[in-house]
Amino acid sequence: MNLPGSGRCSRGTMSTINPMNVAVIGAGSWGTALAYLLADKGFPVTLWAYEPEVVKSVNEDHENTMFLKGIRLPDNLRATGHLQEACVGRDMIVCVTPSHVVRRVMTQAAQWLPEGVPIVSATKGIENDSLKTVSEVLEEVLPIKYHPYLAYLSGPSFAREVAEHVPTAVVAASYSEKLSLQVQEAFRHHYFRVYRSHDVVGVEIGGSLKNVIAIAAGIADGMGFGHNARAAIVTRGLAEMSRMAVAKGANPLTLAGLSGMGDLVLTCTGGLSRNRQVGMQLGQGASIGSILADMSMVAEGVKTAQSVHDLAKKIGVEMPICDGVYSILYEGKTAKQAMMDLMGRELKRESFGF
């Protein structure tokens, strides 16, 4: 793998690799925050943005005024609207596009991807039509020569807090221990701790499904329910995430970690959670159409709710909380009725056999 060798990066990173020339594909809040993190380590970073106004604001004002307003970006971070320019000659590619455009963007980027360098996905979601995770999509659209270099970054991490140097811990997952170590080292910073995992499926399922559970938690908050309801949704939501993960071949213990419980708690309780905010407005009676019309950023849980509903039916996994969110978003059920249906289900024994 063509990662540079020894050396030390600037600004207290504790890193032992020389500066890497990095491309970050996707300039939403999370993509911009990761680009900021890598540039803050002293790496030259090129940020690909779909929106021309984002390219302009990053290059001229050193700020992504559309998606991460108020964060001054380093001088060694520049933006481009051309995928070829972003990809060619890089030492690492980081994909942070919304899940519903990963297939299109990475299919196009494939012709320019360098060989033998890490390709790190930090996207969370499940594709609607194919019901594939991001790893499955990437393995489908990228030539097989790239597959050994695929890794996945997930965990509890609000973009703005990362950009503000708030201590954060995430997990890098790959089937290759060597690649996991290299990605771990590439992203580590004095405010950004990276663990590693072999369980790509578990890490991806946790990062995807927690967004749907966060909408449910937000709905309960919007309806004026208290801490009891939120705790029940988080706990039983984790059980649903674990059932789905195990059905897909994951280790259930992965869901007890950063990409499962960690991310779930953050997204269900944090004020910066877009998915929780969507849920709160639904709980207060707003329609999903009006909510989305007022949002400039993607709430992945809205699309993932459909994917999870369809995937659960396909593989035979019981997901009552996720089904309730789906029924509100796509079947017109009221939040009150969905909550009554959840509470009125047949009584069961609590089991951890998933």
- Residues annotated as catalytic (active site), given as ranges: 210
CB of 219 closer than 8 Å to CB of 328: yes
**What does the alpha-carbon distance between residue 171 and residue 120 come to, in Å, rounded to a whole number?**
12
Alpha helices in the chain (DSSP H): 29-40, 52-61, 83-87, 102-109, 134-141, 159-163, 177-187, 200-222, 227-247, 263-269, 274-283, 288-293, 300-315, 320-330, 335-343
Longest dimension (CA), the chain: 61
* DSSP-assigned letter for residue 75: T
Sign of the Cα torsion 342, 347, 352, 354 reads negative
**What does the alpha-carbon distance between residue 99 and residue 188 come to, in Å, rounded to a whole number?**
25
**What does the alpha-carbon distance between residue 32 and residue 53 come to, in Å, rounded to a whole number?**
14
Backbone angles phi, psi at 243, to 5 degrees: -60, -45
Q: How far is CA 230 from CA 23, 43, 319, in A?
A: 39, 41, 17
Hey, what are 91's tokens? 């030492």
**What does the alpha-carbon distance between residue 210 and residue 329 come to, in Å, rounded to a whole number?**
16
